[in-house]
Amino acid sequence: MTTLAEVAARAGVTPATVSNVLRKRGKVGEATRQRVLDAVDALGYRPHLTARALAEGSAPTLALMVSSIANPFYPEFALAAERAARKNGRFLIVCNTNEDPVIARAYLDQIAGTLSEGVLVMNAKLDFEDLEKTLARGTPIVLCMWERPDVSPGVPCVAVDFFAAGTLAAQHLLDLGHTRIGAIVASQRDGVQAARYEGFCHTLHEAGVAHLEEDVRFTRDEVQHGYDAACDLLSAQPDLTALFATNDLPALGAMHAAADRGMRIPQDLSVIGITDIQLARESRPGLSTIAVPTDAAAAMAVELLEALIESGGRDQDAPMRVAPQPVLVQRASTGPVRR
Q: Would you call 261 exposed, middle or buried from its count of C-beta atoms within 10 A (0-12, 13-18, 19+)?
A: middle
Query: C-alpha angle 203/205/208, rounded to 5°?
Result: 115
Please give the CATH architecture assigned to the domain spanning 58-160+294-322.
3-Layer(aba) Sandwich (3.40)
Alpha-carbon distance of 181 to 178, in angstroms, equals 7
Measured in degrees and rounded to the nearest 5, phi and psi for residue 288 equal -65, 140
Per-residue pLDDT of the chain (339 residues; tens, 9 = 90+): 677 788 889 889 888 888 778 766 677 888 888 898 888 888 887 665 555 554 554 568 899 999 999 999 999 999 999 999 998 888 999 999 988 889 988 888 888 777 788 999 997 667 788 888 888 888 899 999 999 999 998 899 999 999 999 999 999 999 999 999 999 999 998 888 999 999 999 999 999 999 999 999 999 999 999 999 999 999 999 999 999 999 999 999 999 999 999 999 999 999 999 999 999 999 999 999 999 999 999 999 999 999 998 887 555 578 999 999 999 999 999 999 986
The 3-state DSSP composition of the chain as helix, strand, coil percent (nearest 5) reads 45, 15, 40
Which superfamily does CATH assign the domain made up of 162-291 to? Response regulator (3.40.50.2300)
Q: Where are the domains of the chain?
A: 4-47, 58-160+294-322, 162-291
In this chain, the answer to whether the domains covering 58-160+294-322 and 162-291 adopt an identical fold is yes
Residue 67 CB partners (closer than 8 Å, separation 6+): 74, 97, 98, 99, 122, 123, 124, 125
Please give the CATH architecture assigned to the domain spanning 4-47.
Orthogonal Bundle (1.10)
